[in-house]
Amino acid sequence: MSRDLSYLKSFDGVEVEIDKDLKKFSTMRLSSSGDLITIKSVEALKKVTRSLTEKNIHYRVLGWGANILLPTRSDRPYLQLDFSFDKKILENSQEEYCLPASISLATLTAHANRFGLKGWEVFTGIPASLGGALFMNAGTNLGEIGSIVKEVSIITKNGEEKTIKINSSSFSYRHNHFVDEGDVIYQARLFHFGIDSEISKKIREYLEMRTRTQPLKEWTCGCIFKNSQDLDRGQTCRAGHFIDIIGLKGLSYKNLQISPKHANFMENRGESSYEDVLTFINIIQKEILLHTGVSFQIEVEY
Ligand SMILES: Cc1cc2nc3c(=O)[nH]c(=O)nc-3n(C[C@H](O)[C@H](O)[C@H](O)COP(=O)(O)OP(=O)(O)OC[C@H]3O[C@@H](n4cnc5c(N)ncnc54)[C@H](O)[C@@H]3O)c2cc1C
């Protein structure tokens, strides 16, 4: 890489790895490399975003890499948060939780399961950091994470803090309406709708259903396409169903395969690149359009 980021190593709470192998930093395990900046505190985050912006270096934020296709060689450095927090907050149920963006949804699901937090079942089984889930408004058939968020705290590209009060127009389907270019979500305040002893049953059943119907052990990036609305009929068109009925389930391209378990998932079965995935997505999109006349938008970020 031509830019020199090693000066950031002198900042407290910052680690810099130049030209790092990033294969393990996305759930699809694409062959990829780039510069990775790991940030361990809010103060460090402020300094890093301000400094990179002053030097006109554009960066991307990386959560768990569960909804992102990493390019073979990234032109922008990745910022990844690794904030510590007081784990005692999860030892009991609270009315509200102030949590770092780097915490995993799996940790929060385990907490909801233990204490029966109503509303938190909506993100059952989604592999994500809290920050990535908020950015995407991640959700399941049970609902979306946006429904249990009170406030989101952000550091801007100029190193300034801003707090967003969430309202009914803050989120839409797999989308937030408050993160601007260069913003990094570092914390969020979540609430719940009370304690309900049925929640752990709901979470368990939902996890079982997901394990049965989705390729959770394979290298994937979740659903490739967003479902779309048929406005004339008021129905949801499920991308996986369309791919299935035109007979593409199981189709392969190089080391990639449309999952035999769920047709909206693409499995990486060896060495695959960003270019391979985009080529395969393009082929699938064209086939769906040709056979059904429906065009699905891509859900995964690229
Ligand atoms: C097996 C599997 C199943 C899945 N099932 C679901 C599902 O049921 N429902 C669903 O909604 N999704 C699902 N996904 C997709 C994925 O889990 C979600 O989109 C999730 O929200 C991504 O979170 P992440 O931390 O991995 O974010 P990343 O993929 O790392 O990033 C996604 C986007 O968020 C941005 N971002 C990440 N962190 C921050 C931050 N702190 N501040 C600002 N921007 C940030 C990134 O820059 C990027 O633009 C699935 C994925 C897999 C692999």
Question: What is the structure's pLDDT at 232?
Answer: 65
CA distance 19 to 35: 5
Phi, psi for residue 65 in degrees, rounded to 5: 65, 30
pLDDT digits (tens, 9 = 90+) for 203-239: 999 999 999 999 999 999 999 998 887 666 667 888 9
Q: Where in the chain is the domain with CATH 3.90.78.10?
A: 216-292
Q: Where in the chain is the domain with CATH 3.30.465.10?
A: 87-200
CA distance 111 to 250: 36
Question: What is the structure's pLDDT at 1?
Answer: 43
Residue to mutate (ligand 1; options 61, 145, 211; most atoms within 8 A of CB): 61
Q: Where in the chain is the domain with CATH 3.30.43.10?
A: 6-81
- For residue 161, the tally of other CB atoms under 10 A from its CB is 13
User: Considering the chain, what is the average pLDDT of its residues?
Assistant: 95
Angle between helices 199-213 and 105-115 (to 10 degrees): 140
Residue to mutate (ligand 1; options 40, 136, 179, 223; most atoms within 8 A of CB): 136
Ligand 1 neighbours by CB, cut-off 6 Å: 27, 60-68, 81, 101, 126-129, 131-133, 135-136, 138-140, 179, 184-185, 216, 220-222, 301
C-alpha pair distances (Å), 248 with each of 95, 219, 277, 278: 47, 19, 15, 16
Question: What spacing in Å lies between the alpha carbon of 235 and ligand 1's midpoint?
Answer: 26
> Which residues in the chain show pLDDT less than 50?
1-2
Domain 6-81 has CATH 3.90.1150.10: no
CA distance 61 to 87: 24
Residue tagged 């993100």 (tokens): 123
Residue pair 189/170 in contact by the 8 Å Cβ criterion: no
Question: What spacing in Å lies between the alpha carbon of 128 and ligand 1's midpoint?
Answer: 5
Question: What spacing in Å lies between the alpha carbon of 232 and ligand 1's midpoint?
Answer: 31
Question: What is the structure's pLDDT at 235?
Answer: 78
The fold for domain 216-292 equals: 3.90.78
Residue pair 114/104 in contact by the 8 Å Cβ criterion: no
CA distance 119 to 72: 39
Atom 9 in ligand 1: which residue has the minimum CA distance? 139
Question: What spacing in Å lies between the alpha carbon of 174 and ligand 1's midpoint?
Answer: 10
The fold for domain 87-200 equals: 3.30.465
Question: What is the structure's pLDDT at 178?
Answer: 98
Quickly list H helices, 94-182. Answer: 105-115, 130-136
